[in-house]
C-alpha cells in the first residue's frame, strides 16, 4: 500500500534520514522504533508532505505522492497525527472532530466516522463540549486520533502516541490502535516505547541515526538478542 524508496530528507543541509526504505501492506500495523533523533518524525513528515525529501520516491496505492502538497496527501487517504497533536486548544472536542471531516462538509453523512471514534474512545463522547486544552494528555491524544479518523483515511500514521501520557492510558491507546486496524485500516506508528509497540505490530523497523538498522516481523525483532540488549533493556 505504501512504498517508501530510499528517501533522504535534510534540514538546512543537515541530513536527518538517509536512503530510508519502508513498505507497509494493507491491513498491517507497522512500527518504526528508534531513539531520540533517529529520524522517526522526519520519516512520517516526509510521507505526509510536511517535509520534502531531497531524493527518493514515495508511492501510495501505486501512485507517486512525494512532492504533493500536504492537503492533497490527506485527501488521498493518509491521515497523520503529529508529535505535538496540533489540536485547536480553544475549540471544543466536538468542533475539533468536525474539522477532521471538513473535506466531507457538503455531504449528509459527514460525521459518519463519529460512531467508530466514540466506540474507540467513549470518554470523548462524554466531553464533547469541553475545550480541547482542558483535556488530559491522554484524552488529547485520543482526540487527535479521533480527528484523524474523521478524514476517513486508509492509512493512519501516528507519531509517538504514547508521549506524555500516564501508563494506564498508554495501554488504552495501543489497544485502540489494534481495534482501528481491525476495522480495516492500515497503521504506521512511530515510537520510542519499542516493547509496547512491538506487541501490537505485525512488522517493525528500527531506525538509528537516520538509517534503517533492522527490519522484520515484530516477533522476530522483539526476540533478537541485540535488540533486547540495546533497546528493551533486557
Question: In the bound complex, what is the minimum distance in angstroms from residue 127's beta carbon to ligand ATP?
Answer: 28
Per the CB < 8 A criterion, the answer to whether 100 and 156 are in contact is no
DSSP 184-218: T-EEEEEES-HHHHHHH-SEEEEEETTEEEEEEEH
From the list Mg ion, ligand ATP, none, pick the one residue 187 interacts with, judged by a Cβ distance below 5 to 8 Å according to partner type: none
Residue 123: is it exposed, middle or buried by C-beta count within 10 angstroms (0-12/13-18/19+)? middle
From the list Mg ion, ligand ATP, none, pick the one residue 192 interacts with, judged by a Cβ distance below 5 to 8 Å according to partner type: ligand ATP
What mask of x and - would describe binding to ligand ATP in positions 2 to 41, judged by CB under 6 A?
A: ---------x--x-x-----------------x-xxxxxx
From the list Mg ion, ligand ATP, none, pick the one residue 34 interacts with, judged by a Cβ distance below 5 to 8 Å according to partner type: ligand ATP
From the list Mg ion, ligand ATP, none, pick the one residue 37 interacts with, judged by a Cβ distance below 5 to 8 Å according to partner type: ligand ATP
Nearer to ligand ATP, 45 or 147 (CB): 45
Question: In the bound complex, what is the minimum distance in angstroms from residue 141's beta carbon to ligand ATP?
Answer: 15
From the list ligand ATP, Mg ion, none, pick the one residue 100 interacts with, judged by a Cβ distance below 5 to 8 Å according to partner type: none
Nearer to Mg ion, 39 or 113 (CB): 39
Nearer to Mg ion, 84 or 183 (CB): 84
Nearest to 138 by CA among 126, 123, 155, 153: 123
Place of cell 504533493: 68
Residue 109 touches ligand ATP, criterion: CB under 6 A: no
Question: In the bound complex, what is the minimum distance in angstroms from residue 41's beta carbon to ligand ATP?
Answer: 3
Question: In the bound complex, what is the minimum distance in angstroms from residue 35's beta carbon to ligand ATP?
Answer: 7
Helix (H) or strand (E) holding 225: helix 225-230
| Window 138-197: residues binding ligand ATP (CB under 6 A) | 192
Contacting residues toward Mg ion, per CB under 5 A: 40-41
- What 3-state DSSP class applies to 53? coil
Residue 96 touches ligand ATP, criterion: CB under 6 A: no
C-alpha pair distances (Å), 222 with each of 31, 39, 121, 130, 174 = 12, 21, 29, 40, 17
Nearest to 17 by CA among 29, 28, 30, 4: 4
The Cβ of residue 217 has, within 10 Å, a number of other Cβ atoms equal to 13
Residue 198: is it exposed, middle or buried by C-beta count within 10 angstroms (0-12/13-18/19+)? buried
Per CB under 6 A, residues contacting ligand ATP are: 11, 14, 16, 34, 36-42, 83, 192
Amino acid at each position: 500500500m505504501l512504498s517508501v524508496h530510499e528517501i533522504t530528507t535534510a534540514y538546512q543541509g543537515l541530513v536527518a534520514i538517509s536512503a530510508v526504505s519502508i513498505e507497509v501492506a494493507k491491513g498491517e500495523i507497522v512500527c518504526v522504533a528508534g531513539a531520540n533523533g533517529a529520524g522517526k518524525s522526519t520519516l512520517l513528515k516526509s510521507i505526509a508532505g510536511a517535509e520534502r525529501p531531497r531524493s527518493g520516491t514515495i508511492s501510495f496505492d501505486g501512485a507517486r505522492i512525494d512532492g504533493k502538497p500536504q492537503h492533497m496527501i490527506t485527501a488521498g487517504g493518509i491521515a497523520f497525527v503529529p508529535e505535538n497533536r496540533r489540536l485547536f486548544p480553544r475549540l471544543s472536542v466536538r468542533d475539533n472532530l468536525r474539522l477532521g471531516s471538513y473535506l466531507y462538509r457538503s455531504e449528509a453523512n459527514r460525521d459518519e466516522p463519529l460512531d467508530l471514534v466514540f466506540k474507540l474512545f467513549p470518554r470523548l463522547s462524554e466531553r464533547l463540549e469541553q475545550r480541547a486544552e482542558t483535556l488530559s494528555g491522554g484524552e488529547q491524544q485520543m482526540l487527535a486520533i479521533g480527528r484523524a479518523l474523521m478524514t476517513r483515511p486508509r492509512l493512519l500514521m501516528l507519531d509517538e502516541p504514547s508521549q506524555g501520557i500516564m501508563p494506564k492510558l498508554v495501554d488504552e491507546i495501543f489497544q485502540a490502535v489494534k481495534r482501528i486496524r481491525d476495522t480495516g485500516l492500515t497503521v504506521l506508528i512511530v515510537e520510542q516505547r519499542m516493547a509496547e509497540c512491538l506487541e501490537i505490530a505485525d512488522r517493525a523497523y528500527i531506525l538509528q541515526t537516520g538509517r534503517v538498522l533492522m527490519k522484520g516481523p515484530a516477533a522476530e525483532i522483539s526476540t533478537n538478542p541485540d535488540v533486547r540488549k540495546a533497546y528493551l533493556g533486557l
